[in-house]
Amino acid sequence: MKKPFEKAKTTDEIPENFKAKTTDEILENFREKMEKEFKLGIPRNKLRYATDGFLNGRTMANRDCEGRGIPGRFKIGRQIAYPVDGTVEYLRTILTVA
């Protein structure tokens, strides 16, 4: 029978994937994942997928027009792409810890 108020687990008993990470660790993991998946850069139309919905390509198009977008964007044919490093730095500027 399960006790209603069990003793809380110590941090040693919590699996690694459940431990809190710093913003630097999160962004470094993101950078590694994106560099493997997008060799040249992140296309604007894949930005939502790449950032798990945190950045939208249409919003970034508007911010690019305002001069507040991801730095270093470039064109390949008719598509706009963002460098992985620029995207990580942009996320660092908008990221806040709750």
DSSP string, 15-53: -GGGS---HHHHHHHHHHHHHHH-SS-EEGGGHHHHTTT
85, part of any domain: yes
**How high is the mean pLDDT of the chain?**
85
Residue 32 lies in a domain: no
Mean pLDDT to the nearest integer, 50-61? 93
Q: What's the CA gap between 22 and 29, in Å, rounded?
A: 11
The verdict on residue 28 lying in a domain is no
- In-domain check, residue 89: yes
Please give the Cα distance from 88 to 30 (Å, whole number): 8
pLDDT at 75 over 70: yes
Give domain status of residue 81, yes or no: yes
| Residue 47 located in a structural domain | yes
Higher-confidence residue of 15 and 72: namely 72
Crossing angle of helices 23-37 and 84-94, in 10° steps, is 150
**Structural domain for 87, as ranges:** 41-98
pLDDT at position 28 over 70: yes
Its pTM stands at 0.74
Distance between alpha carbon 75 and the CA centroid of its chain, in Å? 22
Among the ranges given (4-13, 50-59, 81-90), the one the predictor scored with the smallest mean pLDDT = 4-13
Tokens describing residue 61 = 């198009």
Q: Which of residues 18 and 93 earns the better pLDDT score?
A: 93
Mean pLDDT of all residues in 39-61: 93
How many domains is the chain partitioned into structurally?
A: 1
**Dihedral sign computed on CA atoms, order 32, 77, 90, 94:** negative
Tell me whether residue 62 is in a domain.
yes
> Hey, what are 2's tokens?
């399960």
